[in-house]
Amino acid sequence: MRTVGQLLQQFLRVRARTEALCASLAPEDQVIQPHPDASPAKWHLGHTAWFFETFLLERFERGFAPHHPDYGFLFNSYYNGIGARVERPLRGLCTRPTVAEVLAYRNAVDERVATLIEEQPDSAPLAALVELGLNHEQQHQELLLTDIKAVLFQEPVFPAYAPGKPPQAGRGETGWTRFTGGRVWIGHEGADFCYDNELSRHEVLLRPYRLANELVSNGEFLRFMHDGGYARPEFWLADGWDVVRQRGWQAPQYWLQRGDDWFAHTLYGLQPVDPLAPVAHVSFFEADAYARYAGKRLPTELEWEHAARQSLAMDHPGALAGDVFEPHNAPVAGTGPRRMVGEVWEWTNSAYLPYPGYRAASGAIGEYNGKFMVNQVVLRGGSVATPRDHVRLSYRNFFHPDKRWQFTGIRLAEDAQAQ
């Protein structure tokens, strides 16, 4: 159990990191919306303040008054229970409040929340909402990075977000690990924070399966491309094939061919594609097509979670080791599946659906997860953009199968024989 001082410290630390992520951007960079899935940096800054103001201050603060009468409309993301809002694809048309005004809003909210934490040190509901708000803020830290990447991709010179170069990755051995499966427990265990979609913890039956020790690399994906992967319908789900043709996909998001060479727009600017690094920015459709091309399949989320627990995936040295902004793949010691956490979000072949006994929270906060449980695919493991203390082995991320502006990659699986 955390002390009040620890909670306050964590609150201030997480909040400050959000602003730090935007520190190198010009105000102009923080306004636009490069595509409807991404949001302006300014909006992320404001929305995460709004979350604390709406779900925490409004409930716990005596004599609560909103910081600004329009911000509730401007910075609501998707909570129908709260009221009207700027439609998502129009977020990039709001120039006011300015970045400076949004930062002032954040400061004001920070002070008011800090005061509340100190005044109500024993309020478990308050502490729970602080924790939810911080987890929410960390999710937006990841989105900030991917959305900034999308913004800078609009600019003809592909400016770098961070100085330096992406780490040149070697790669570990590329074997497979067998898991027996059987009757296994799935879902979050214990009293620590988790999202409602990680519950209830429940048992499932798994058949024996094998999981690749390494992620699929850029070099392997290039071979798929050279073999006509994007032009051969036999590898693709029907909906995926439609998307490939309609959008003219021929490579992962952010890849550009110049002469015979492939480059990728990264947070370090335009860089040659590293054949040993894990492929990223592929959709579920591409991950699934690659697996069929390779004669394998994607794991289910149940298989992934079971394997990760067996492999103590969180303990891998090197995972989540520092502020690297692009996937790489430095070899690590040990056996079994590697880098299951903190490299790229790994597409599974599981639809995002409620676990048995799932209960959404009541009120607007219950819109956090449950209402997205259709048409989306589960991803597991977290990426280089995920804050290191945010992800869990039971963590369920989800996106529509055609999305690829996140750091999303591929780990293969296959059925194993019973022994």
Instruction: Decide: 271 and 217 in contact? Cβ < 8 Å.
Output: no
CB of 411 to a copy of itself, least distance (A): 18
d(CA 15, CA 82): 23
CB of 241 to a copy of itself, least distance (A): 7
Whichever of 240 and 387 has its CB closer to a copy of itself, that residue is 240
Whichever of 94 and 114 has its CB closer to a copy of itself, that residue is 94
Instruction: Decide: 396 and 380 in contact? Cβ < 8 Å.
Output: yes
* 42: β partners: none
Nearest to 131 by CA among 44, 10, 46, 5: 10
d(CA 378, CA 399): 7
Whichever of 25 and 320 has its CB closer to a copy of itself, that residue is 25
Whichever of 81 and 334 has its CB closer to a copy of itself, that residue is 81
Whichever of 78 and 115 has its CB closer to a copy of itself, that residue is 78
Phi, psi of 200 (to 5 degrees): -80, 155
Binding positions for a copy of itself, rule: CB under 8 A: 26-32, 34, 42, 70, 73-74, 78, 80-81, 86, 90, 92-96, 98-99, 151, 154-157, 159, 183, 202-205, 207, 233-234, 236-241, 284-285, 288, 349-351, 353-354, 356-357, 371-375, 377, 401, 415
CB of 315 to a copy of itself, least distance (A): 29
Whichever of 204 and 282 has its CB closer to a copy of itself, that residue is 204
Number of alpha carbons in the 13 Å side-chain half-sphere of residue 74: 24
Number of alpha carbons in the 13 Å side-chain half-sphere of residue 224: 27
Phi, psi of 76 (to 5 degrees): -70, 135
Whichever of 187 and 401 has its CB closer to a copy of itself, that residue is 401
CB of 222 to a copy of itself, least distance (A): 24
CB of 53 to a copy of itself, least distance (A): 17
DSSP 8-state code for residue 240: H
Question: Which tokens hold the place of 356?
Answer: 């048995």
Query: Is cis: bond before 200, omega within 30 of 0?
Result: yes
Instruction: Decide: 171 and 217 in contact? Cβ < 8 Å.
Output: yes
DSSP 3-state assignment of 236?
A: coil
CB of 318 to a copy of itself, least distance (A): 33
Instruction: Decide: 19 and 106 in contact? Cβ < 8 Å.
Output: yes
Tokens 């630390």 belong to 13
Angle separating helix axes 238-247 and 284-293, nearest 10 degrees: 110
CB of 142 to a copy of itself, least distance (A): 20
Whichever of 263 and 372 has its CB closer to a copy of itself, that residue is 372
CB of 44 to a copy of itself, least distance (A): 15
Question: Which tokens hold the place of 12?
Answer: 């201030």
